[in-house]
Amino acid sequence: MTEKKAQLTMDGIDEPIELPVYEGSTGPDVVDVRSLVAKGIFTYDPGFMSTASCDSAITYIDGSKGVLLYRGYPIEQLAEKSDFMECCYLLLNGKLPDSEEKATFIDNIKHHTMVHEQICNLFTSFPRHAHPMAVMIGAVGALSAFYHDDLKINNIEHRKAVAVRLIAKIPTLAAMTYKYSIGQPFMYPRNELSFSENFLHMMFATPCEEYVPNPVLADAMDKIFLLHADHEQNASTSTVRLAGSTGANPYACISSGITALWGPSHGGANEAVLTMLNEIGDISHIPDYIKRVKDKNDPVKLMGFGHRVYKNFDPRAHVLRDAAKNVMKEMGIENDPLLPIAKELERIALEDDYFIERNLYPNVDFYSGIILKAIGIPTNLFTVIFATGRTPGWVAHWHEMISNPFKIGRPRQLYTGPTQRDYPG
């Protein structure tokens, strides 16, 4: 890629070790440390703060400038001019579709939204009160039982079929998870509706009466899906890649991504935001809460604030802040008691030294939680919505990895346990 080199000098090594340095198309240079293992040296990077685990041409983030690009296109432009279906095509294929390609892609997705009828039986084995993410992990993992024997992951057509099935079926499973939890019948998808309208239909329609999706809410849903569609090598995508690097069934790999997403430091934060706002309960309790957040001995954090990569602002949050206003207005709930709490927390985070010094800005989950609540989506389903939006990203990364030479992911360790010792007696 380039002639740049780095040199590593180290006690106990006679000659400096020369390491190639690669330049990406943009972003930080990368030192290739692969030759170190042969010299008996590992690099140490818990949390992968400084490690590029792969080459990727899908998504670029510049955390210091608040830049997020899908295949080179800024997220703000995509949110304004594009839609989720088009972004799915873009992430998977590396280019925007022309109108015919887009229509064919959408048609293909629409004709794969139903799940095997036996999947319905699977749902009945879960307790009704199960967390929707637990059910999703099971239901998406179960797809591997339906699509395994004939699946050749080295066949590009098979990989494309995997992508279409997952993008099409995960919203259906997400809505089924909700319907099951409230004891309502599953609603079959409707092909005359757009992706996001259909999602609202499967969530909120019943067989008893006509359901007409609200265009403002469908638009907000579409934006939420679009803004979550990819985020380069985050914890869940890296999990999908790691699982996929073993050659495992891709439906099972995506289920492992859903598992990683569930945690409150990642996708679970949108649910945690609402839990936090409810816990605070009233604007007068905010000072005490902030005191706890700043207390090193108290594990409480301001949920929906801070990001591993964005250290200036989260561009997705900017888009959703405006969308949140539209949804509130449409639903006539500008008087929601949680809103003043959210606004005051936002103000404090932008003005208080503790948050400024640590670059803790509202992230995408702060506003998505507020919008989803306004749409009527129950709090414990928020992370399932994130998973639905992130599906094209996960599949695009899996597809990119399998399309190129790759090695099984196998990190090493700094061993700190006992050295060899004899079993007593």
Summarize as ranges the residues that interact with ligand CMC (CB under 6 A): 231, 234, 265-267, 269, 293, 301-308, 358, 360, 363-365
Name the residue whose CB lies closest to ligand CMC.
Answer: 306
Exactly one of 201, 266, 397, 399 is catalytic; name it.
266
CB of 348 to ligand CMC, least distance (A): 11
Residue with smaller CB distance to ligand CMC, 189 or 369: 369
CB of 274 to ligand CMC, least distance (A): 12
Measuring CA to CA, which residue among 381, 376, 378, 389 is closest to residue 214?
376
Residue with smaller CB distance to ligand CMC, 364 or 377: 364
Residue 365 designated active-site: yes
Q: What is the DSSP string of 346-407?
A: HHHHHH-HHHHHTT--B-HHHHHHHHHHHHT--GGGHHHHHHHHHHHHHHHHHHHHHHS---
HEC string of 241-285 equals: HHHHCCCCCHHHHHHHHHHHHCCCCCCCHHHHHHHHHHHHCCHHH
Residue 266 designated active-site: yes
Distances (CA, A) of 44 to 14, 62, 86, 235, 301: 21, 23, 40, 18, 27
Q: Which residues pair with 62 in a beta bridge?
A: 67
CB of 311 to ligand CMC, least distance (A): 9
Q: Residue 12: what residue type?
A: G
CB of 365 to ligand CMC, least distance (A): 5
CB of 353 to ligand CMC, least distance (A): 12
Residue with smaller CB distance to ligand CMC, 71 or 266: 266
Residue with smaller CB distance to ligand CMC, 316 or 399: 316
Residue with smaller CB distance to ligand CMC, 166 or 364: 364
Residue 353 designated active-site: no
Residue with smaller CB distance to ligand CMC, 110 or 307: 307
HEC string of 181-209 equals: HHCCCCCCCCCCCCHHHHHHHHHHCECCE
Distances (CA, A) of 27 to 318, 348, 375, 393: 22, 32, 37, 20
Exactly one of 201, 365, 397, 399 is catalytic; name it.
365
Exactly one of 307, 314, 397, 399 is catalytic; name it.
307
Distances (CA, A) of 251 to 71, 96, 147, 172, 256: 24, 26, 8, 15, 9
CB of 41 to ligand CMC, least distance (A): 26
Q: Which residues does the annotation mark as catalytic?
A: 266, 307, 365
